Structure 1
Amino acid sequence: MTLAVVPAPAEMRTDAAAAPFTAAPGSTIEDVVSFRVVPGGPPESYRLRVDGTGIEITAADEAGLFYAVQTLEQLQTFHGDSWSIPAVEIADAPRFGYRGLMLDVARHFFDVDTVKAVIDRAASLKLNRLHLHLSDDQAWRIALAARPLLAERASASAVGGDPGGCYTKADYAEIVRHAAERHMTVVPEIDMPGHTHAVGLAHPELVEDPVVSDAVQDAAARFGGGLPTAGEPYTGFAVGFSSLRVGDEATYDFVADVFGELAAMTPGPYLHFGGDESLATSDDDFAVFVARVSQLIADLGKTPIAWHEAGAAPRLDDTTIGQYWGFTTPTAGMDEKARAFVAGGSQLILSPADAVYLDMKPEAGFPLGLEWADGPTSVRRAYEWEPADLIDGVGENAILGVEAALWTETVRTLHDIDTLAFPRLAAAAEAAWSPATGASALRTWESFRTRVGRLGPLWARRGIRFHRSSEIDWSAA
């Protein structure tokens, strides 16, 4: 019997001949489970035993208890007002400590309730980081007392001219609180020195004029939105045309104000400063900038994170974690830049674009998503990659974790988020939590497509409008 546990646990034994546990009508999991915390095991680990007499959970910490409950909810079968769980024993612990989902709230804005719903969905798959992409060329999304003009002048726009928005400090605190209750850490990103056109709407003295390359013109012709113009909101798809004024000390005063205030608002250990696609910044200026900003963040007592391009900087703070967004077969020296973080003694977060960028179309002709990451990304392709084999020289110990990313050029609603994320987010979660590919009979594509298909009823009950991919067996849904 294959049980619908996603991500796959480290060890699972079932007894088809044994009686399942059947709950009394109206009972919840919390009503009938015996919970126990026994410190000493791996962080977030748990042991689960179910038989006809009851359900027992033992965990190393509160997070382990939470993840065990997520497993139980996946195993539930409902019978009218009652429910049952088959006889099973599970011993489980995560492979990686960092298991993330990035949500781009800059290209399209999502209100607090939508972000909280995304947190709930991610946590149900045992993800424990929410990376919020809070700024880009299109808009700035966080209100800061030190720089009030950012919220006042740079938050109203979005891709396609859609409505914008901005999180107040109270909004941000509510997101952080909701995430923490589900054992998730918020990782805020302020992207720089590129992706900063919106900064110029509030502080024109801090940005260079847009560099309109052939690639920018091609993107405007293909997707619309016009060409970027200094001092005017940008609503298109193009990237790589903006830059902060790296040689101006006022820029670093701005950076210190932004990250200093954001650090005080963020209880988690990480601050992400972007560093990707800085095509309008010279290589020398880029190296100077990311070195200074990484050191500034480290001096605030936080761990800097940057996209892999920052690995090219020779004086990057050695605590900086790299985030790789290249392909599963690296191109254009992306792997070399990523390896630089490891050579400096740090680690990598893996977000291969042609596997776990959820904004890619799941199939040709799909109404949402893009195709630039080597065409549509099927569920199978999202599943069949092995983190420890992705980049030569970057083995298990050099990987902090795995993060799926959802950029939002074509995404406007929670329905859109669900449609692109599910079931592919489950594939990313399995890469982040479960044993290495092939290390378990469960850690195979055939097992996954069966297990994830059996989650259809649970997702439907939760209001998740998932894409019923033809790759998945939804017969139980």
Structure 2
Amino acid sequence: MPDLPLVPAPAAVTVVDAAPFRLDAATAVTGDAEAAALLRALLAERAGSPLLLDAAGGVASAVDLALAAGGAPESYRLTADAAGVRIEGADAAGLFYGVHTLVQLLVADDEGWLVPAVEIADAPRFTYRGVMLDVARHFHPVATVKAYIDRAAALKFNHLHLHLSDDQGWRLRIDSRPLLTEQGSRTAIGGEPGGFYTHDDYREIVAHAAANHMTVVPEIDMPGHTHAVTLAYPELSEEPVVTDEMREILRVYGGDEPVNGAPFQGLAVGFSSLRIHDEVTYAFLADVLGEVAALTPGPYLHVGGDEALGTPADDFAHFMARATAIVEGLGKTPITWHEAGAAAGLSPGTVGQYWGFRTPIDGMDDKTRAFVARGGQVILSPADAIYLDMKYAADAPLGLQWAGIVPARQAYEWDPASVVDGVSDAEILGVEAPLWAETLSTLADIDAMAFPRIGAAAEAAWSPPLGATSQRTWESFRERVGGLAALWTSRGIGFTRLPEIDWRG
């Protein structure tokens, strides 16, 4: 019998030798009203018509959804047999995840729909389980962001990192700095149309995320990746630093060399910088970060710090120290990419996001350990494993390959605690799967690149360590994720049928 199609793999699952639970016209859902509404909607989407009745006297069977205090945060228990299904969540998030697990268990046969007899006790390995969506290189409208939230939350991700600014565009209205979107949001890579979020748009995204038990983490990338600022406030920016390496990137991928005051529509990175020793720069940071923080109820504010190749090392350290201090002063926890670990004055408690390789090179590990030494934690995002925009095959029509070709098995066979020596579970805040959008301009593009490899990232974030259970193996994963084909199709997810996966349905 193949493994049940559960992704991410639960902490403990037992298939019971008993008759399954069958959903029919006499089935009702009882208990928590919010979870019941979610379950009805998801099952109707899966089956193409409503499956569950409102609770009423005389029903023959029921799905019971309840909150049960005492478990770990976000945990749940699910039991199913011929008599019914019961899900107990330690909190609302746990009940939400239990409902999504139940939907994955649903099986169609000639008589209708059933749930196999099973006992599941589940809880996450890491508290931070993130996906990142780049809306700067190509702008993605609110509807697309909300759709990606729905997809990620179903796989038990609980943070959405939005990359809101880059050389190619500024994507969030800042009332105190209106020219950022009036001048800096109009274009995208390749000259495609740009766009930006109003405050109401952003609040809509935040609210939709919260309804799916996800926290929005906004990123304003600095001091590099800031060319769009030059379109609005040129007095804040240094002249571009263009190297031969950047010229080669432009030759391969197209685009003109960056010029201050002109939109940049290419793929090259590392040439831009804010003016580090000018106080007007920090007045700008205070305005922008203050407004973003006020719009964001979550605890984190990401200030970038990656690929600042146009900023001298001492200047970079000075800037990141001041930027993280501003964030801390706003009552938020700063997050930066791992390069900022080299900045001696970084605010204590800053979280470092590692985007290097499964085997660190060029001091990436030293910079990452520095966050822990200062009292912070680390988010793992190894590019050659869970950068979902890396090509899964050499002939893939979308994606890049600067971190190599990343097939599904490579995305799966790594463990967060084995990447950086000295950074184990206690020092790891969580795992995040970034999706950069240089080549991705539609939801269909996002689906094609993210699915199915996003499932591998989900297991790294939620499930027990690689090899710790019989399910935490590549052989099990390729069966389990393959069993989700029908569910994903019913949800309108345009996943790529990678030949590595044992697709069923």
TM-score by length of 2: 0.93
Deviation at 1:37, TM superposition (A): 1.1
Partner of 2:224: 194
Q: Quick one: percent identity of the two aligned structures?
A: 62
Q: Is the 8 A contact 1:298 1:319 kept in 2?
A: no
Hey, what's the Cα distance between the residues in 2 that align with 1:79 and 1:163?
Answer: 47
Name the residue aligned to 1:264. 294
Residue 8 of structure 2 is matched in structure 1 by: 7
Q: Which of 414, 420, 423 lines up with 1:385 in the alignment?
A: 414
Q: Does residue 357 of the first structure (1) align with residue 378 of the second (2)?
A: no
**Letter of the structure 1 residue corresponding to residue 8 of structure 2:** P
SS of 1:177's equivalent in the other structure is helix
**1-structure distance, mates of 2:434, 2:111:** 38
2:134 aligned with 1:104: yes
**Mapping of residues 219-234 of structure 1, within 5 Å:** 219-234=249-264
Alpha-carbon distance between aligned partners in 1 of 2:53 and 2:71, rounded to the nearest angstrom: 23
Alignment partners' CA distance in 1, 2:249 and 2:421:
33
Counterpart position of 1:144: 174
Q: Say how many residue pairs are matched.
A: 474
Structure 1 consecutive aligned stretches of length 4 or more whose deviation exceeds 4 Å: none
Distance 1:362 1:30 in 2: 45
Deviations along 1:390-445, one digit per CA (max 9) or x if unpaired, are 10111110000000010011101100000000000000000000001111111000
Q: Which residue of 2 aligns with 1:401?
A: 430
Aligned equivalents of 1:460 and 1:95: distance in 2? 28
Q: CA RMSD in A?
A: 1.1
How far the C-alpha of 1:39 sits from its partner, in A, is 1.8
Amino acid across the alignment from 2:212: R
Report the alpha carbon displacement of residue 76 of structure 1 after superposing the two structures with TM: 0.6
3-state SS, counterpart of residue 211 of structure 1? coil
SS of equivalent residue, structure 1 residue 240:
coil
1:282-293 equivalence runs, <5 A? 282-293=312-323
Q: 1:115 aligns with which of 145, 154, 157?
A: 145
Is the counterpart of residue 431 in structure 1 residue 460 in structure 2? yes
Unaligned runs of 5+ in 2: 26-49, 56-61
C-alpha displacement at 1:30, in angstroms? 8.2
Amino acid at match of 2:4: L
Are the aligned partners of 1:220 and 1:236 in contact in 2 as well (CA < 8 Å)? yes
Instruction: Indicate the residue corresponding to 1:315 in structure 2.
Output: 345
1:40-439 map, 5 Å: 40-79=70-109, 82-373=112-403, 375-439=404-468
What letter is aligned with 1:433? W
How much has 1:144 moved relative to structure 2?
A: 1.1
Alignment partners' CA distance in 1, 2:71 and 2:439:
43
CA shift, 1:81, in A, is 8.6
The Cα shift of 1:345 comes to: 1.4
On the 8 A contact 1:27/1:82 being kept in 2, the answer is: no
How big is each residue's C-alpha offset from its partner over 1:16-71, in whole Å with a ceiling of 9 and x where there is no partner?
Answer: x3111111144249864211112221100000000000010111100000000110
Cα shift at 1:315: 1.0
| Distance of 1:166 and 1:53 partners within structure 2 | 51
Measured in 2, the distance between the counterparts of 1:81 and 1:195 equals 57
d(CA) in 2 for partners of 1:54, 1:211: 65
Q: Distance in 2 between matches of 1:311 and 1:33?
A: 49
**Distance in 1 between the 2:343 and 2:216 partners?**
26
* CA-to-aligned-CA distance 1:70-98 (integer Å, 9 cap, x gap): 10111111347942110000000000000
